[in-house]
Chains A and B, each alone.
Chain A
Amino acid sequence: MSSIIKYCMYTGVLSVLISCGGNAPAKNKVNAQVSVGTPDYANSDKHDFVLPQPISLARAFKDAGLSYEAGKTNPVGNKTGYNVKVSQWLNLGVYTTDLAYCSLNNRSKEAREYLQAVQDLGNAAGLSAVFSNRELIGKFEKNLGNAAGLEDVIYDMQEKSESYLVDQDLQHLAVIQFAGSWIEGMYLGIESARNGTKISVALADQMNLLEIIVRGLSRQPEKDKAIDQLIAQLQDIENVYAGFGTVQTAMKTPNSPSPELTQKELTALSHKILALRAEIVSIS
């Protein structure tokens, strides 16, 4: 019997030694310059995708002629009203687009307020490791009044946020955040189009992202009623859009540029987008 006890002791000690001898997992190095996270080592999806940065959504609209209009963004005061996880991540996306919108239009005061909203909601959602970064905040403050500088800081912030989520194997949450960013961008674009700006081609360009967003939301590891509802609403928008005459004509010709929507189509799309955006930003 004593030999068994000895055997157990040797095995235990050896196991502990082996466990301690491995390399430190890269995924725990939160502030590492680059991180690759905890992947599915067996296999990635056969058809994967990379979502653009939320600021790229705003940049594309800005390049298409979207100008700043006060009072359109989600009020920063709402930030404390998002207490459910899905709502927090969606509105983190909404505020990120608002931050980009203000920064690209050189609205320093508003940009600072939206940075604070993104920080607060980011901390609430569990991203304090990203948003408590003093260096990042310092860089932002230093670049207030310099639109290009602010844009660089926001790209930097998004890169750190993405790195952190990959690190912690939370990439699925980035899709929820992106859905919020996308709907806010579309909302701001539609509001601008209603005021006569010709950005309907930019709206059609961004509609191409919808299928990917839905695919990403459908891959959430946990079942969530709010996500299922969001998917249904986004698919509804997708179906309405696919039924437009200009879209169907464009789809007949492979590789054709995005269509310019008619006023009637734009109105139909607006109804859907505005209703969903209002639901997302409403506070509980």
Chain B
Amino acid sequence: MNFKFIQNSLRAGIFVLFSITLTANTYADYNNALDARLNTFKQECKDMIRPARYEGSRITYYAQSKENQKKSVEVFLLVDSEYSFAISGKECSTALTIRFYDSENADKRMLIKEIKSAQLLNTLVSSNDLNALYVRKFPKAGRLKNVVVEYEIAGGADKTEAIVLVIGYK
């Protein structure tokens, strides 16, 4: 009886261990595949900003949920020159709206530009265009010295996805 009990417990233990290993490997494989795709999209964005110099990048990861969600990245435009923003929504499977604001402060900020249906696409935006729109909306303003790029991601399947942003300046 005791021997049978030990035998069954060992079997169950090994099965659980095996399942954990399998799950962990599947998860790692998914993340590695995601990494590989994001590498490609980041390189595409880098190619898009040329001949601008590479100023920085950010990959925004998010876990898909049933609800819409918002994430933002603040970027500083220190040099009085043209900046390029290359954004890859190729890893985003649900509706993606990109908005450019002049501040992170939700009470004071001004919407400068909105791009709808940016999912599954690469998008390129120039700070010259943003500045022109900004001055039109707010004539007293100087040039933009920081920009907040906001992503609004529609709810969808339960999985991890990401949006790539690469910044360059000429």
Spell out A's residues near B (CB within 8 Å).
1, 4, 7-8, 11, 14-15, 18-19, 21-27, 32-36, 39-53, 56-57, 59-60, 63, 152, 155, 159, 162, 205-206, 208-209, 212, 253-258
Contacts and interface: CB of A to CB of B under 8 A. Distances in A.
A56 B55 contact: yes
Nearest to B34: A41
Given A47-B72, A53-B55, A255-B138, 7 more contacts: A11-B18, A21-B25, A23-B32, A44-B71, A50-B56, A60-B79, A257-B142
Given A15-B18, A23-B32, A25-B32, A56 B169 contact: yes
Contacts of B34: 41
Contact of A44 (B42, B62, B142): B62
Nearest to A40: B61
Contacts of B80: 60, 63
Interface string B35-53: 1101100110010000001
Nearest to B60: A44
A36 B145 contact: no
A212 B56 CA distance: 15
A258 B77 CA distance: 13
Contacts of A33: 43
B157 interface: no
Contacts of A258: 142, 145
Interface residues of B, number: 59
A127 B10 CA distance: 47
Contacts of B29: 22-23
B128 interface: no
B14 A8 contact: yes
B141 A19 contact: no
Interface string B140-158: 1110011000000000000
Contact of A48 (B11, B22, B73): B73
A73 B86 CA distance: 35
A47 B79 contact: no
A21 B57 CA distance: 31
Given A18-B21, A46-B71, A48-B72, A255 B141 contact: yes
Most buried by B among A25, A36, A60, A63: A36
B63 interface: yes
Contacts of B160: 41-42
A23 B33 contact: yes
Contacts of B141: 255-257
Nearest to B62: A43
B117 interface: no
A39 B72 contact: no
Contacts of A57: 78
29 contacts: A4-B10, A15-B18, A15-B21, A15-B22, A18-B22, A21-B25, A23-B29, A24-B32, A26-B35, A26-B36, A26-B39, A34-B42, A36-B35, A36-B39, A36-B59, A43-B63, A44-B59, A44-B60, A44-B71, A47-B71, A50-B75, A50-B76, A56-B55, A56-B78, A56-B169, A254-B110, A255-B110, A256-B140, A257-B141
A284 to B, nearest CB: 31
Given A7-B11, A18-B25, A27 B35 contact: yes
5 closest cross-chain pairs (CB), A and B: A257-B142, A23-B32, A60-B78, A50-B56, A49-B74
Q: Which of B21, B43, B167 has the most CB of A within 10 A?
A: B21
B165 interface: yes
B104 A47 contact: yes
A39 B43 contact: no
